[in-house]
Structure 1
Amino acid sequence: MANIEIRQESPSAFYIKVHETDNVAIIVNDHGLKAGTRFPDGLELTEHIPQGHKVALTDIPAHGEIIRYGEVIGYAVRDIPRGSWIDESLVELPKAPPLNTLPLATKVPEPLPPLEGYTFEGYRNADGSVGTKNLLGITTSVHCVAGVVDYVVKVIERDLLPKYPNVDGVVGLNHLYGCGVAINAPAAVVPIRTIHNIALNPNFGGEVMVIGLGCEKLQPERLLEGTEDVPAIAVESASIVRLQDEQHVGFKSMVDDILRVAKRHLTKLNQRQRETCPASELVVGMQCGGSDAFSG
């Protein structure tokens, strides 16, 4: 296991070294640290290093290994003196091995033993799933409605949520698919299924409302259809708001109609109560660990 080491020059200057064999560390401070900053181990920065960027803890020769997390993450393009900023231009990535020479894992791991003796307070849904929050999710069928949805979410947070104390929040499920998205293309099922499944998130309590434009190819009804491996979502037509409907005579009319539908769903969500659920029913999503300099 890595032993994370935090070194500081003063209460206001920090770097983080993750593994004892690392020859680089990460500058933590907002706006980075200036040239000349010194640390108790004798490290002195030779130049300004931005926050979240690497500093060389030792002299690294040209083509030498750059080590972080105890692993080689690249090779030095040239000599890098101790205390220098290691930016992308100084790092050469290892050559990737041919895929056809990599060993192939064929053994199926043994199933893990049942998780027993642990519980959490969650929201049980009619489909058997269990959520950790009680949220109103607003699904969209086309990107063109994103601006209206963002505005409505703010109005609901400000004006409606205080009246529904058991509801934790509201989420607008915007995406980038436009009016002309190819709904019959060979892989069109992928974005459709993705939006569909997000609407079924256990934290939404089965209360699905959809905002569409009206002219898009991917109509809300198509979005809610089931497939061989995805159940259909039963939604009343009253829970679908189309911004181009004739009844909408302007922006305020659209917003009022959405808020009317939202109030109905918020009333139902507000009646939900937490109950003790086994931890084995908890669905945990994993987030990418290589997203920035502080993760791994």
Structure 2
Amino acid sequence: MTDATTQPRVIKVHPQDNVAIVVQRGGLAEGVSVEGGVVTRMPIPQGHKIALVDFAEGDTVIRYNEVLGTTLEAIPRGGHINENNVRLPVPPALSELPLATRAAPEVEPLEGYTFEGFRNPDGSVGTKNVLGITTSVQCVAGTVDYVVARIKRELLPRFPNVDDVVGLNHTYGCGVAINAPAAIVPIRTLKNIALNPNFGGEVMVIGLGCEKLQPSTLLQDRPVRIYENTGEADPEANVLSLQDESFEGFGEMVDGIIAMAERHLERLNRRQRETCPASELVVGMQCGGSDAFSGVTANPAVGFATDLIVRAGGSVMFAEVTEVRDAIHLLTPRAINKEVGQALIDQMAWYDDYLAQGKTDRSANPSPGNKKGGLSNIVEKALGSVIKSGNSPIVDVIGPGERLRRKGLTFAATPASDFICGTLQLAAGMNLQVFTTGRGTPYGLSMVPVLKVSTNSQLGQRWHDIIDLDAGRIATGDATIEQVGWELFHLILDVASGRKQAAADRLGIHNDLVLFNPAPVT
């Protein structure tokens, strides 16, 4: 890197790289001298790659000391490397990957860090105290939205210890091949969402009555108590079907749901925050609207925070199969044993087959916005994405919709879609999410706090009231990865404790749940 006061700043990640990315806001004009005497041969936008050497057609492009692809044409030193002049390479062969070959780094346990959370009877800890009202079928989603609005207006003010009431609506439940093998994915996702620690075990289920996915299915092994419209409230009732013949009109259905919700709110209101060790954190790491800065600012800082949480005994999951596949060779050596390494490979292979069945492949990612932000292809995106996992050993791999099984660093096999990934991490049991973005997104979840970290300061300043932490200071030299990583770690503890509020929660910006359903729809 060069001093920003003397020359335009560019970032070369590794000494072996033959490209660098432009830091300057607004990019560089033609004829500008940068590091090493390289002169731009054309305008190069911010975040995009400048050629540090002369490339002939077919030469390899190196960033992160990894091959991004080969050039489709000759590109002069100082030229612009982008998605239009780089050929996508062949992905790493899954059968040839090293498994569990890297020894875990020796680190000191991180002790003494705590947060104020809601302890549950099963031992899990919530960072929010939320009444969740889930649906067994999309047909009742409108009714749930109607009732949630009334509960918030009429009941919630009476229960000051309850943070929110949320409708867990989705598009599943009927018109689907519910017995198809792949149907296990959406079904277990819905079951496990109801177990999220932020709900305190008080989730209600609203069904229609004729759906394939019956409400009782969503409660797993918990007792099912059907609401009966008899005039005598059952304090333990947790399931209500709108087609119950005891209801006369929509008004009675709504009254029944509200009466059931009141009993749940009474129990949730007894929950109090208590001091919990940082080992009870369950943090999902995700990125969306990524750019070329993601892999050098926000994601490395998130990776540093990941290692801090793991050192503190907590749980972290990284995800997004398509944004891991082309960097999988960097991950399988970090598995704690060959079984975990093989599980990583199995999830990659499953997704390869899934994409092939849809007559597409990994080249469908990245998005137009990613490319505008300087990411040429999915290889470059993946190499920047996996940095969120830090350096900790990978202790487990879970399939889509499964719950976390172990403390430490887990890979959660999810699609890269922001809202599907978030839904699956919610089902896995996260009690807080960190979301990095370079292009910007108002993404949020009403069920868990979502902290958004900007990869560049231009976004952090422009979206000052939506972004929680600006990691772009790393690119400008105003902060280090370690400094921002520690800052994020402390912010996580403050937000988990309720001392600070995530911007999305403060603004009330929340996305819908979106299930991953690879099974047939009938």
TM-score above 0.5 = yes
Q: Which amino acid aligns with 1:19?
A: V
Secondary structure at the aligned position of 2:13 is classed as coil
> Aligned residue for 1:285?
283
Counterparts of 2:22 and 2:254, CA distance in 1: 47
1:229 counterpart residue number: none
Deviations 1:134-155 (A, max 9, x none): 1122222123333443454455
For 1:103, the equivalent position in structure 2 comes to 98
Pairing of 1:60-75 with structure 2 (within 5 A): 61=55, 62-75=57-70
Percent identity at matched positions?
51
User: Do the aligned partners of residues 198 and 56 (structure 1) sit closer, same or farther apart at CA in structure 2, a change above 3 Å counting?
Assistant: same
Q: 2:216 is paired with a residue of what secondary structure?
A: helix
Partner of residue 168, structure 2: 173
Question: How far 1:201 sits from its partner (Å)?
Answer: 0.7
Q: Is the 8 A contact 1:140 1:174 kept in 2?
A: yes
8 A Cα contact 1:24 1:67, kept in partner: no
Q: Report what 2:260 is aligned to.
A: 261
Task: Report 1:91-130 matches (<5 A).
Answer: 91-105=86-100, 116-130=111-125
User: What do the CA deviations read for 1:142-179 (whole angstroms, capped 9, x no partner)?
Assistant: 23333443454455455544443322223332333241
2:226 to 237, 240, 259: 237
Match of 2:50 among 44, 48, 56: 56
Aligned-partner Cα distance in 1 for 2:107–2:27: 50
CA–CA distance in structure 2, aligned partners of residues 64 and 16 of structure 1: 22
Compared CA separation, residues 72 and 290, structure 1 to 2 (3 A):
farther
Point out the more displaced range, 207-216 or 40-49. Answer: 40-49
Q: Report deviation, 1:92.
A: 1.9
What is the letter of the counterpart of residue 139 of structure 1? T
The residue identity in structure 2 corresponding to 1:285 is: V
What pairs up with 1:11-22 in 2 under 5 angstroms?
Answer: 17=11, 19=13, 21=15
1:86 matched to 2:90: no
Distance change >3 Å, CA 94–CA 172, structure 1 → 2: same
Q: 1:195 aligns with which of 190, 198, 214?
A: 190
Taking the aligned partners of 1:28 and 1:273, their CA distance within structure 2 comes to: 48
Q: CA deviation at 1:284?
A: 1.7
Pairs aligned (count): 275
Q: Is the 8 A contact 2:137 2:173 kept in 1?
A: yes
Counterpart check, 1:141 vs 2:136: yes
Choose 1 or 2 for highest CA Rg: 1
Structure 2 CA distance for aligned equivalents of residues 254 and 7 of structure 1: 65
Structure with greater contact order relative to length (CA < 8 Å, sep ≥ 6):
2
Match in the other structure for 2:434: none
Q: Is the 8 A contact 1:60 1:66 kept in 2?
A: no
Residue-by-residue CA offset, 1:46-77 (whole Å, 9 max, x unaligned): 4685x8x6343546623344344453333332
Partner letter of residue 284 of structure 2?
A: M
Bigger Cα displacement from structure 2, 131-140 vs 236-245: 236-245
CA shift for structure 1 position 199: 0.4
Which has the larger share of strand?
1
Whether the 8 Å contact between 1:209 and 1:235 is mirrored in structure 2 is no
Query: Structure 2 vs 1, CA of residues 234 and 114 (structure 1 numbering), >3 Å: closer, same or farther?
Result: farther
C-alpha contact 2:33 2:40 (8 A) present in aligned 1: no
Shift of 1:196: 1.1
Q: How does 1:187-226 map to 2 (within 5 A)?
A: 187-225=182-220
Paired letter, 1:212: G
Other-structure match for 1:182: 177
Under a length normalisation based on structure 1, what TM-score does the superposition of the two structures give? 0.71
Show the counterpart of 2:272.
273
* Residue pair 2:13, 2:20 contacting (<8 A) in 1 also: no
* TM-score, normalised relative to structure 2: 0.44
Contact 1:25 1:55 in 2 (8 A): yes
Matched residues in 2 for 1:16 and 1:165: separation?
A: 51
Query: What is the CA-CA distance between 1:112 and the residue it aligns to?
Result: 9.2
1:271 is aligned with what amino acid? R
Q: Is the 8 A contact 1:181 1:218 kept in 2?
A: no
Q: Does the 8 A contact of 1:214 with 1:244 survive in 2?
A: yes
Cα deviation, residue 204, structure 1? 0.6
CA contact (8 A) 2:135 2:170 kept: yes
Moved more, 130-139 or 158-167: 158-167
- Is the contact made by 1:43 and 1:57 (CA closer than 8 Å) also made in structure 2? no
Partner of 2:21: 25
Determine if contact 2:194/2:218 at 8 Å carries over to the other structure: no
Q: Residue 118 of structure 1: CA displacement?
A: 3.1
C-alpha deviation, 1:124, in angstroms:
0.9
Partner amino acid, structure 1, of 2:177: A
SS at match of 1:286: strand
Post-superposition shift, 1:249? 2.5
User: Any unmatched runs of 5+ in structure 1?
Assistant: 9-13, 226-231
- Inter-partner Cα distance in structure 1 for 2:141 and 2:153: 19
1:131 Cα offset (Å): 1.5
C-alpha RMSD of the superposition? 4.2
Whichever structure has more helix as a proportion of its residues is: 2
Determine helix, strand or coil for the equivalent of 2:171.
coil
Is 123-132 or 136-145 further displaced after alignment? 136-145
